[in-house]
Structure 1
Amino acid sequence: MKLPSFFQVLKPTLPKFKLSPAVVLTLCWLAALIWIWVKGETFTLNGFTPFADISHRWLATAVLFIIGIGWLTWKIIARLRVLEKARQEAKQNINSAIQAELDSQNRYLQHWEIKCQRYLETKRYAYVLPWYVMIGDSQSGKSHLLNAIEGLNPLYQPDLEENSTDSVYFSIFNNDHAVIFDIEGALLTQQDANPDKPQLYTKLWRHLFLWIVEKRPRQPLNGVILTLDFAHFLTLNKPERENTVARLHLRLEEIYNLTHSRLPVYVIFTKLDQLAGFTATYENIPQSTRENILGVTFESLKTDEWTKELTQFWSEWCYQLNLASPHKMIESTEEKRASVFSFIRQINGAYDDVAELLQGISTHRGKRFHFIRGVYFLSTEQKGKIDDLFIQSASMQYELGKQTASTWFNRLSQPFFTQKLFEQVLFSEPHLASENALYLKDYHQRLKRFFILAGLGALAIIGGWHYFYYQNYRAGLDVLEQVKTFNHVELTDEQDNYGNLQLPMLNPIGDATFANGSYHDRLPLADMGLYQGNHIGPFVEQTYLRLLQRRFLPAIMNGLLIDLKQAPAESEEKLGLLRIMRMLDDKAGRRDEWVKTFMQKRWSQAFEGQADIQADLMRHLDYALKHTNWYGGRLAGDEELIKAYRPYQLEIEKAQKELNTLSIYQRVYQNLKIRAEEVLPAPLNLREHIGAGFDKVFIAQDEVALFIPQLLTLSGLKQYFLKQDSQLVDLTAMDSWVLNLSENTTYSDADRAEIKQRITELYLNDYTGTWRNAIHNLEIRPFETLADAITATESIMGSEQTIKKALDIVKEHTQTPNIPNTLDEKELEARLATPEYKLRMDISKQFALATSVLNTQDDKASLLQDVYQKLAGLHRYLLAIQNAPDTGKASLKAVQMRVEKKSTDPIFELQQMAKNLPDPLKRWLEQLAGQAWQSILKSALVSLETEWQDKVVKQYDRYLKGRYPFSPQSKQEVPLSEFERFFGPQGTLDNFYQQNLSAFIENGLTQEDEETLDDQTPLIRDDVLTQLDLAKRIQQTFFNAEYGMGAQFMVEPIDLSANKRRSILNLDGQLIDFTHGGKRKVKVVWPNSGNAQVESKITLVPTEANKAPRSLSFIGPWAQIKLLQSAKAYNITPHSFDVRYQVDGGNATYRIYVDEVDNPFSNELFRQFQLPDTLY
């Protein structure tokens, strides 16, 4: 079958692709991610759908990404550590003289590693075969020995022709049983031949074993094979032998220190054939014997218990040789007999040297060290010089000189005692070597940590089981207790409009439902498999939901229905109530947060200070919103739900019909504003954006107008309104559902375009209206003192730049969009045609004039900068008044100068400049100038009031207040001199008025009312003005410019009773004598005498001669006034009035002629006069 083209393309690369753990984990991760979004929604486990909710799928996705990122981070960190280590090593070796040899050795090991992986067909090759190292001198016969082993071959040999600089000092052999590192004698002796490369062999030796430990950290090696040339070893003198032993011991110690492993050491003596007599002794042995092992394997693995076994072996070997020697001597020639005898004697004498060697290399001084596993003798090939140690020793003893040694003649060699040595001994016991001590230490620590963590985990599991068992046990008891409480609750028939009357029933059954938590959200193995909510919850929840649907929700609907009936027709309030009622009814269009927010406000007002009731109601409402569907139950034919809904159905349908009259455009825009409030940030606060100087300069008529909804800002315009596009029409869906419009209502493209245009118009009007209202809402605040005015001026001109910031905010949100100069004609036309540009242009046109004061042209300062110059003059003007020695007098002087128009002041100049500026700057400057003037007036009034109290009020209180004529019943009288000094022309009150008050009163100066912001309130209070008018009338009545203090009037007698024949009226010495029939008008003056004891009286003379006259008299400067006021007045006209005196049973009547204005006898004039202590 022919593969598809896709697979044909990939076919050449498929053999290179291998499923590494990283690839498998990545594929599993991707599969899990795809499965969550493809099958997760419908996945069910024991009736539970953990990924049905999209939020759960997103959470699972987030967990997968966290796991993936964590794994990648771990891999990257590990890789970086490797690279850092390599970088450090390269840095250390960059100037090393032997770096080339190290690199060569490293390349050899890397190539061999690759070959070994292919040979063993696994990347985990390190522990497949046991690893041995073979060490020995250069002529110890290692290579011949390895070549004699069947199947033992090197996997990799470097091509020296192509890589002439690559040289290594070891070879690696392997077969199906083991890997052997054949180390050359140069690394063993480590005698540096090149002074330019010091410690070359030492570092190569160390590098090799470190590589082995890196590749096999647990058990680096399985043994050490030590080869020695037996004949050569026996010929060494004592110093040479000691050096050889010490060198071997040192190398073994280095191996131990590098591998931290106690290894078996196999000592192999080669070239046994170079001892004289070897041929004569072993030439006729059978093939099977020749393949056997000649040596001893020590049974004990202790370092120092090999001596007995070696002695026993050696004795047995010598015994066998001696036992066979008679037969050899009988059958052999004399020469062979001598050879056999010599061989036996050499072997017998070699024991001490071998024992000394083993003792030397196994010495450990009480430390942990390698152990000697065995000693073996063999011959791999027969060639070279044959030496007779027995003869050589005898020659040296008798000083016969060194004897000539014979050599092997060229013949076919065959191995002796070789073949089974590796198969039956070395390769058969690879696990005698101990594991790396450091690795074991780390392993034991990890194992210890594991058991500790496992123990803690076991304790945690046991504790968790105990905890969850107790929790579920207690929850079961709570359910029983709550059910008992519920069963004892009596139903109430009282009208419930908030749902609170249902709490006695809902609380216990709700607590029973929640006792085990929500079983809907619990996994099958929740609470460590002990969760009982799945068994108890459904039964209790059924009762709970029945109560919510049949009692709790209808109770809430009762209250909403009352408010719905009382809400204004076609109002947003009624639509809001209808939304909540429809959402409580139908789950299909329900928005839980809307309902909870609305009911939270409603309950907080109804149950203020009762947080526990509000919390209980919200808990039940939240559960009802999630698990009830009143409308769905009615569709399913639930008669109880249908019956419960009937009281609300008529009013809801009526409200829907009424609210359907609202235009679709207005409805969409209202929904847009509601949605914007949900998703956009908090409104823009003008107070915060203008800064700390706001309260120093401005005052808001309406605090609410300071908050601009984010929808009506530049950010809301660009980031929200313009991005809604077709969603503007989709926003009608909610109200269409609320108002029960057809679910299939659709709009054509033309309808949609019309809706967008109308909504844009509504948005434009709302946008511009809101900002215009926000500007008009800002007024310059009233200044209580001059300091307030100075502070406001400094805030405007200083770093706070209050007015500029206010205008900057308006400009920022209403300015024309910038168009880059780099656009070509088509791009420019496209930009000008965008909805954003058109809308922002319409907005900017309405605010261009207001913000034009910020614009600069051709290096000319902006209008606002010119305003600052005027404000600087105002600041200096106000500061000069405040810093004057007497601020009040300086303020009063400024007021008088301005009233008298003796000079122009900065306030007037600022007002004149403001006339030519656009709003709102014009209005703000006019208000600022007016408030500055008001602060000067107030400062002048404060000083004026102090002077008023010192000069006027104090004199009045001391000489006039509480005395006659101001207090008619008082026995004390006002001295005429004080009366004249206070009320007379150029008197105290007159002078103060002329010098101080006239400028305020006669020029109609007013002040601004702080509550109404009306600047028509007089500076001097009305009651003060009333008293000043009374004082003026007193002056006009009792004073004249020609005679000073005094009053004139005419007195005419009118009538005298019959029992009196004469009346005499004495007014300060001015006598008016009257008898029956003698009427005449007499001109009278007050006061007529400066004598304080002057008397005024009326005397009636009776007709009888024997009766004395009777009188009514008063003494003092005010006696005349008192006498006239004591009579009974009647027949009052504007120019005259009659007074009747009744004395001693008779009466006399007089007519007083006075001016209508200047009536000195009007008691009301003095009684009404009460001088105020304050002026404003």
Structure 2
Amino acid sequence: MIRRIASWLFNRYMLELLGLVALSLLIWFVGPLVFIQPYQPLGSPTVRWWIIAGLFILWFLRLLLRWWRAQRMNEHLMTGLARLTSPREADGTPAAGSEEVAELESRFKEALDTLSKTRFGQTEGGLFGRWNKRYIYQLPWYLIIGSPGSGKTTALINSGLDFPLAAQFGKRAIPGIGGTRNCDWWFTDQAVLLDTAGRYTTQESDAEQDKAAWKGFMQLLKRFRGRQPVNGVIVTLSVQELLSASDAERAQLAQLIGLRLSELCEELTIRFPVYVLVTKSDLLAGFNEFFGAMSREERAQVWGFTYPYDEKTQRSPASDPQAASALYMEEFDALVAQINRLLPQRLMTEPDLARRSLLYALPQQFAGLKDVVRDTLDAAFSASRFKEKPLLRGVYFTSGTQEGMPFDRVMSALSRRFALRGRLPADDVPQQGRSYFLESLFKDVMFNESGLTGRNAKKERQLRLMQAAGLCALLLALGGAALAWTLSYENNQRYLNEVADNAGTLRQAVEESKATDPDNVVALVPMLNHAARVAQSSRFEESAPLGWRWGLLQVPKVQTAAHATYLRLLEDAWLPRLSSHVARSLRQVSTGSPEASYETLKAYLMLYEPDHFDATFVKAWLRSDWENTLPQHLVQAGLVDQLSEHLDRLIDGRVVVSAQPIDATLVAEVRQRLAQMSPAQRAYSRLKQLLNTGDKLPPDFSVVRASGPEAPQVFARASGKPLTQGISGLFTYDGYHGLFLHELPKVTTLLAKEETWVLGQAKGRRSVAQEVLTGQLANEVKRLYLMEYARLWETFLADIRPIRTASLEQAGEQARLYSSANSSLEQFIRAVARETTLARRPDQQEGGSSGSTSSWLGEKLQRIREEQHQLSRLTGKPLNVGGMLATGTLEADIVDFRFREYRRLATSNGSGPAPITASLQVLNEAAAVIASARQQVIQGGGVPPSLSGTLEKVRSEAKRVPPPLNSMYEALATSTSSFVGSSVRSTLGGNLNATIGDFCRRAILGRYPFTRSATRDVTTDDFARLFATGGTMDEFFRTQLQTMVDISTVPWTFKQGVDGTPVGGSASLAAFQRAASIRDVFFRAGGNTPGIRLEIKPLDMDASISQMVLDVDGEIVRYQHGPQIPKAVSWPGTRGTGQARLQITAAGAQNTGIVTEGPWALHRLFDRAQILPGNSPERFTAIFTIDGRKLRMEVTTSSVLNPFRLKAMEEFECPDRL
């Protein structure tokens, strides 16, 4: 318990946490006492809380970083080991020993997935126990070498160490006891033990392969644990090989062990401790008898000795061969003496005489190892074989398990001398499985000294060099920063002193300016010059050098403050003088120069109306005024440039308003004087008269000029004017761009744009909507011109109409002329589009892609239209087009927008022909269909199915094209439809009467069931010929009328032609609709024989009737006051007699009934009954009265159309005309 508490309290992380708490308390209580005059940096509790929180956050991040680095290094180790490949010779063949290295790698990779995420260590440790656990990379690593069978693996298995991965991989890497063919990796909770193959030490099985495998093994360690490949080497020497081998064999073994250790020193370049384990001590006669009674704790002790080691000097007496030998002899004698001290007690407690004899001989047996072990160690650790001798830490005697025959060196010597047989009895051979003197040796000796191992000299040199380089870089950085800060401080201090001198000069200039004329703008120039240069330094021009910066630069802050002061002087002191100067110029301007008065008034008002402020104009006007009013010697001295520079600083990118009160009286006087200027209408009249009388007028536009010689065959004018007379050249595209725009004075545009606010025509402050809606004089002249331009073109185009046609043949010819290649119609549309697209610049290609003109124009016009609608709605005023267009694109809105359809038709979208081509293609198709329809009508056929659709396409196209195309398309479609409809009515009317009318009247007129009172019946053949599917009525409708009839309406109607008139009348069409109903009732199953199916269910009959029998052409329905069972019957029946008979049997009376005959016998039978409607259309009740006796039956037909009371049959009349 105490140990757990101590481990918890003295845990490194707990100590760090306690240190942080102490530091936090120091900051909290002592911090407020720290003053850095005049500041108290830790006076605020919030600041202290933040600092303390920051310390804990940094500590926690450090823990996370440490954990992340350990995990990352461990994963790199695991990943690197997993990627190992077998070595190969230069020619690509496997190198010697590659099989061994590959086997080492494959064995190790078995546990990689688990090891990469496993952490080892004690589970105790309290709150920070998890942080104490370490990855494989962080554990100490020990290498075990020894000859085959020396007991390396046995010692590990019985060492008493904890193997955390035993559950997954077992406690032993290779099953069985004795001999490790390949290297095994033993992962304990305190260290990693690398158990090498014994042949790696002796290299006797295959020298070349064993040597290569051993070298590869060392490189593997060095590669993945470069700074400290191993923390120690454990050399195992078994008692068996020491006692049974000859002197030469022991010398060879010592030489091999020394050679392996030398190779490790050279390859790993570190100095590591070596622990010599004399294993299989149980083979000494008397060992088991002497130590067998020990407890587990006693057996866990160390039996051996550890050489002294000075941690300060990192030296050990064992480094000296002679001293090591002397220490060995001394320590070994101490071990023998200890056995001798314990011997009497063990002899007294052992009752067995044979075991006593063995106990008694153990000191001599153990002493026999003294010289053997010493000689082996002296030979193995000879100084001549090492460049840097490993650190021999101690010699220890152990036993992993007890098996085999013990050695009795005394008996062996006597046997050899006296020829005796000195063999232990078989019953006395020990067979035990306990370990001796291993557990504490590993845990308390070896693992506790894991830090004795030196580091890789090369790696350490590299690390020290890197650390030194980093330290030097840090020192250089700190020194450079200190030097830079020192220089920056000195430079900035000199700069501040310089600015202070400039500020003093500026204050003096400000005082001197107060005594000058308040209207004199020139008098403030010296003060403004000083203010502009107050933050400037003679030591740099634009930006401060690098030596001024480094976090101490004061120049930007000073320049900002200086610039603010300079602007304040410009606005508060100089701007009022500017407005007074402009007002004085406005008073002095000549009344005979309205333009100069206007410009001066505009400049004066801009200084008071920020919404109309124009910095460019103000600067230009003031500079011109200064150049004209200032004395020439001042102008030549550059004073105007200085004034302009200060003016630029004042108004560039800013809107300024003078604090000087505006002179309203002066403004009103000047406005009244300027109000006498001529209005825009007068200016436009003069301009138009001037242009019309000039010699630059372009040719007039006419239909013939635009369409070519075929124009008279296509066009006419509704007014009767000739096609050669058109529109004046002034109102053409060339007249606008080539003449009007060049002659329109630029000043008119400027005056119109500024008229509202300069002349003060609007009273009070105006809203944005009112500003947009208010007409502006600048565009009024142009607007008036464009309005007249659009009006003339609209009147002209409205006057164009197509040539009238008098027949279907002429209509087809007209369609051909319209759609022919390069037709007059196409040329005319393209010419109109060119003349009405004024927004297109003269340098743009005509008829090209609309991307540069149409797209932009469409977006612009859409936005303008939306704004116009919104503004009209908001203001509640009618839209003032002139005002709106004064701020927009007049050409686009007044002209281009009105005639946009012509431009759409004539302009290609860049990926195909212009829409006019597709539009005329519709007419081309119409021409072909009209020709086909004319031939079909002549031959007596009906309306071609494609005609209606084609004419509808023409009419639809007419809705998408502008005048005169729309009227031309509409006239073509209407006239064609009218001509075709008239011809079809005449032709089909004759055919109808010939094919249906005459026969129909002969077949059904005055016959039953169409005439209920008739005695003659319509024959089934005639009925079928008329009404069956494919009969005359059905066939005529399908082939002649169906495409012209709308059967979705009730009653059916003829579809209207393109001219709006139907092909036929409603009377004849009603006959075909009734015929369809008759067909659906009597010919439901198809075929040429009429028939019906129905279900008859007797309901009741008078009590006097004993039986009722209904015979429907052989299908019997019988009823005797029993169950009411419906019976399905059909007409005609199965017998084929054409007879329907209803018979009743009454008690005491003869059979009586009703009999009807003929093809409609069933209809006639039900005509004798009283019919009552049922609860659905297909159901009714028939009541028969026979000899005063009544019976009732329910009849259900197969259709909602009752064949016995079919309205279509009762109202049917034979068609004779359309």
Which TM-score band applies after superposition, normalised by the shorter structure? 0.3 to 0.5
TM-score by length of 2: 0.41
TM-score by length of 1: 0.43
